[in-house]
Structure 1
């Protein structure tokens, strides 16, 4: 109905009704997404699928798509979650300062370590610390309210991979912002990431509490299919 109304308005103005304002995309379905990462290109060459899309029309890459070896999808997504009101420059600066704090803390622990075994366990790369923190914070199940017979039950269901990454980073940011306001955001974020990377802290407790609730409500799991 909305599409028909917009088409009539555009026709009265003399504008073609098939313009991108109505179709929402300037590419037809036969256009394929751009492959700009070296790993993806190598995988396509090994599987032989690259010959199938060699002569296909390709969509234009987005302005944040890059083939740089320094690009990390997880860090980029985390910066987007930190961002507020579209101020991405500030969000990037906060995350970079948080990484700097992680590096300083880990270097201090490294130099205070007495044995080589302790030094080998200390991770100095902030990106690896962030990835470990997110992986340790990812939940395996979630509770979904399902109504049966006038009663709403909290039913445990498996969580998708994309949703689990979102929940983990959301919990990390919520735990960071819940800390005392006298401490700057990068420092709070650094300590929260280090705790989560070591399987400690508020986020890990929150994940374990969610799993305990799912275990307690496992008797309602059959409502997911009924």
Structure 2
């Protein structure tokens, strides 16, 4: 009986895909949708642009993945704010993270309006009143273009400067802003400190901007180790 079962198993293995044989006993998670399914275009402005350029006709018969729960065509949806909210969130408490973002934007609006009314007519045009633009500009100003990674060569570990992709740049800039706001006195509210950090970063000032410049200086100082990336 055991011999018959072994023969059946060997026969079954012959018909299996040789590539999948390497994954026997290994649990791997695969995407529900094949790689030929393209990402959905759910924003109305992007859909209108596709229709103008004629790209919409090419996508008419292409399999498309359904959008995520967080992706919506609402005019209040913003991918940068949604991602920044996810960075703030801890332990899955997204309602709390959204509340912090709303309070931060309200604080930014009040601060910028006070500065606007106190400024002279010549200075008012340079004051940004939209909190979303403040967030965009803050992330852009604090996003580094290089970072240091440890690489072992010859028994020693060297801090090697490497260029960053745009996604990594935005991630580091956002995390630095959030971490800087956490370093606050106990009696100060978090959204007040975060609003101040965003306004300072939008004006190319503050601790996070200094941190980016310090990182760039360290990369410049370690430029002699840059060749270790390819060795």
Question: Same fold judged by TM-score > 0.5?
Answer: yes
Q: Which residue does the alignment assign to 1:196?
A: 201
Q: Which residue does the alignment assign to 2:33?
A: 27
Q: What is the RMSD of the two structures over their aligned residues, measured on CA atoms? A: 1.9
Alignment of 1:167-206 (within 5 A): 167-206=172-211
**Unpaired stretches in structure 2, ≥5 consecutive residues:** 1-20
SS in 2 for 1:24: coil
CA distance in structure 1 between the partners assigned to 2:146 and 2:212 by the alignment = 9
CA distance in structure 1 between the partners assigned to 2:188 and 2:179 by the alignment = 15
Query: Is structure 2 residue 87 aligned with structure 1 residue 67?
Result: no
Partner deviation per Cα, 1:146-190 (whole Å, 9 max, x = no partner): 111111111111011000000001000110001212101110111
Calculate the TM-score normalised by the size of structure 1.
0.87
**Unpaired stretches in structure 1, ≥5 consecutive residues:** 8-21
The ranges of structure 1 where at least 4 consecutive aligned residues each deviate by more than 4 angstroms after the TM superposition are none
**Cα drift, residue 6 of structure 1:** 7.6
Which residue of 81, 88, 109 maps to 2:87? 81
**Cα drift, residue 71 of structure 1:** 1.6
The total of aligned residue pairs comes to: 211
Q: Which residue does the alignment assign to 2:115?
A: 109
Query: Structure 1 residues 24 and 225, CA, compared in 2 at 3 Å: closer, same or farther?
Result: closer
Q: Which residue does the alignment assign to 1:139?
A: 144
SS in 1 for 2:117: helix
Query: Is structure 2 residue 24 aligned with structure 1 residue 4?
Result: yes
